[in-house]
Structure 1
């Protein structure tokens, strides 16, 4: 077979294609997951977590229910032409011993920062794709629309044995500026942004809560 001539007319587009494919963002994948949550001083709870397609993007939703207690949180987002996450809508609510509260953030309020559910997806994908190689900062809005910020860093990969199976996990440590004694440790599944394999909350050197994946359905 004769060698191909190294002509700039086709070589440059090929190099650009290869470079683009090497850095392409990990795409969303729908899933239906269940977690078991243990919190010191509270009864254990199971949490449902779904990421599903909508008409113009994606919807991430979490919910839980205990005797006398229930809560849910939902965020809708889409990916723009550059693959960046854009929040479209957020809603949450809880019921505690007959006391009910609900919150909403419309698209106008989400122009600058992401809602919490969309921020979780975005943070996991940034960590998976290696968009930040040192300590990185994420801004988002809490359920009341107040700006929050956290710093995160990737600490490595390891294999986890969970009730849902055996998975390779990407471990990410998240802290709040000015709160060195508090940290969250996330284990993400590299091929599925937004999904939690496990999560631990630590305060003053002690683990105060722990979340574990117990079921996963990824159609």
Structure 2
């Protein structure tokens, strides 16, 4: 067992007062998290792919656009989430027909998910511009994800990727902490240890090119790689 995973287990056993989110190496952590969402169960369709209607359920986690009790609003074309989640914690679509679309993604070399934003699936400006919410069947003390923020730009003509904010919630719906990513063009990796363990996570962003996500990792109690 690696040092990072040992730290993860220690944090889950002895949570710190006030909550803490600690960034660690993706490759070091991801291999020890048995929960996996990689979207490979869907047909590898070229972009724009296919929208997935309603909430999207995987083993151990449900994906949506927001948490029940939150308010969704649009700021400069990007979805923002405010408010305290209601009990019990639950994912919602925010009145969208589909919270995500799945398509084969050239940079990942596999299927990936695009959060659908205010402009909807039918428009290029709507694919990748939405918010995401993850609600776990059991709270996870660690989380890892790969995120793509526009393709490399050798000519420097496109705007720089915008910030991505991960918010972590405990079982009561209180914010444990946040992690802010200032992504580079291309694939970025995020891996964090969370204490106390997170029951839910939301992802919002201000990236002009839109984001795609893949290889989402989390813990499943009783299963340790």
- Which structure shows the bigger proportion of residues in helix conformation? 1
**Would you call these one fold, judging by a TM-score over 0.5?**
no
If asked which structure has higher relative contact order (CA below 8 Å, sep 6+), I would say: 2
Calculate the TM-score normalised by the size of structure 2: 0.29
Calculate the TM-score normalised by the size of structure 1: 0.30
- Which structure shows the bigger proportion of residues in strand conformation? 1
Structure whose alpha-carbon radius of gyration is higher? 1
